[in-house]
Amino acid sequence: MPIDHATLSVSNQRAQNITILGATGSVGLNTLDVISRHPERYSVFALSGMTQIGLLTKLCLLHRPQYAVVTHEQDARALQNTLLQFGTETLVLVAEAGLETIAAHPQVDTVVSAIVGAAGLKPTLAAVNAGKKILLANKEALVMSGALFMQAVRRSAAILLPIDSEHNAIFQCLHDGHARTLADAGVRRIVLTASGGPFRSTPLNAMNDITPDQACAHPTWPMGRKISVDSATMMNKGLELIEACWLFDATPDQVEVVIHPQSVIHSLVDYVDGSMLAQLGNPDMRTPISHALAWPERIDSGVKPLDLCDVARLDFEPPDENRFPCLALARQVAQWGGTAPATLNAANEVAVEAFLSRRIGFTQIAQVIGDVLDQMPVTAANDLETVLAADAKARSLSIRWLAERDK
């Protein structure tokens, strides 16, 4: 995407108004931590949450945004009453329309897209269509609607900066950002690193005994429950492979996945001259968030510096797609394109939720997704309605899969 540095530095002269979609989550709270360190640079314009209304109330009292958005009418009324009692002027909006309003509001400079799952798609697209600077954590939105999403970015001249740590690392290693094609930039391939999750060495025959709490105990990154399960199944890396294809205009064959248990190298770019550039740092989301917030400048993130002697060694191994079939499914879907990624994503969301509520075992997550993909024809995804229809159909087939299994 073409980037106008002159415009960026002019707009840096006043505090940037930030909307955080998903402020009560792991990425949202990390973003607020960074913003709080730089009050002269950033001002919180709007925050959203869904179930954690107590936390959202505290965040509103602390940051005094102009808007807050919640999903349910009843929560909106209660939050508005509480905020009025404390004398704040925050206006509470509700549901998807509210999210789209705070994403596209003319006073907003930057939107942090940190809602989890398909629920983030429409508000993120609203920010894209309004030409905002978007810090993208919500990979599911891009996975579902990749071609449409990137077309909208180009049309509106929005600035799309990845804060998923791997993609942020790649962005940093591609010295011209997205300005050129990979071939023009002399890139041979992109290497996505993966921690391998908590079950990197667990034998296949022990995997169905895995509990939700074990799956959510990630060895290197503290995250929300859905992405933690995705990391444990390696679907997260599969979604990230698709995400990388769209962000960097790469084919699936140009994206390699390597297990790196220390999570110190966040990803790499391999150039045709034999150079390999990597971005290193402690595993802390405040680094990619700070990088994207301040880009093209650099600001303090609060992350402690990396002590290489403390790290001492960096290990690498190939992923085992036999024990982690979700990665193979995602790679297949990346090749198919069209509506297939939306189908994969929706089936995964339903299956992960079923695993977290102990309806299915860990290894059945991949079975649900594989069976739903088998039942869904892949069509071109030329408009949002088609993508949303594939999402809805995949969800209903997944729910049917669960119901039949419960019989």
* Residues engaged in binding ligand NDP (CB under 6 A): 22-28, 49-52, 71, 114-116, 119, 137-140, 164, 221, 223-224, 226-227, 285
Min CB(69)–ligand NDP separation in Å: 8
Q: Give strand pairing partners of 162.
A: 136
The count of other CB atoms within 10 Å of the CB of residue 22 is 27
Min CB(88)–Mg ion separation in Å: 35
Residue 221 interacting entry, from Mg ion, ligand NDP, none, C-beta within 5 to 8 Å by type = ligand NDP
The count of other CB atoms within 10 Å of the CB of residue 107 is 12
Is the Cβ of residue 353 or residue 371 nearer to ligand NDP in the bound state? 353
**230 contributes a contact to Mg ion by CB under 5 A:** no
Contacts of Mg ion in 152-191 (CB under 5 A): 164-166
Is the Cβ of residue 144 or residue 329 nearer to ligand NDP in the bound state? 144
Is the Cβ of residue 95 or residue 179 nearer to ligand NDP in the bound state? 95
Is the Cβ of residue 140 or residue 164 nearer to Mg ion in the bound state? 164
- Spatial CB neighbours of 213, under 8 Å, sequence gap ≥ 6: none
Residue 71 interacting entry, from ligand NDP, Mg ion, none, C-beta within 5 to 8 Å by type = ligand NDP
Is the Cβ of residue 221 or residue 271 nearer to ligand NDP in the bound state? 221
Min CB(290)–ligand NDP separation in Å: 14
* CB-closest chain residue to Mg ion: 164
CA angle 372/225/82 to nearest 5° reads 120
Min CB(311)–ligand NDP separation in Å: 20
Q: From the centroid of its chain, how far is CA 132?
A: 17
Min CB(221)–Mg ion separation in Å: 8
Min CB(31)–Mg ion separation in Å: 15
> Is 202 within 8 Å of 210 (Cβ atoms)?
yes
Residue 196 interacting entry, from ligand NDP, Mg ion, none, C-beta within 5 to 8 Å by type = none
Q: How far apart are CA 171 and CA 333, in angstroms?
A: 24
Q: Give strand pairing partners of 259.
A: 194, 317
Is the Cβ of residue 69 or residue 278 nearer to ligand NDP in the bound state? 69
- Spatial CB neighbours of 358, under 8 Å, sequence gap ≥ 6: 211, 212
DSSP structure class, residue 168 = H
Q: How far apart are CA 308 and CA 33, in angstroms?
A: 25
Min CB(72)–ligand NDP separation in Å: 10
- Phi, psi (degrees; rounded to nearest 5) at 323: -80, -20
> Is 123 within 8 Å of 96 (Cβ atoms)?
yes
The DSSP line for 323-361 is T-HHHHHHHHHHHH-TTHHHHHHHHHHHHHHHHHTTSS-
> Is 131 within 8 Å of 37 (Cβ atoms)?
no
Is the Cβ of residue 65 or residue 288 nearer to Mg ion in the bound state? 288
Residue 162 interacting entry, from ligand NDP, Mg ion, none, C-beta within 5 to 8 Å by type = none
Residue 227 interacting entry, from ligand NDP, Mg ion, none, C-beta within 5 to 8 Å by type = ligand NDP
- Which residues form the interface with Mg ion (CB under 5 A)? 164-166
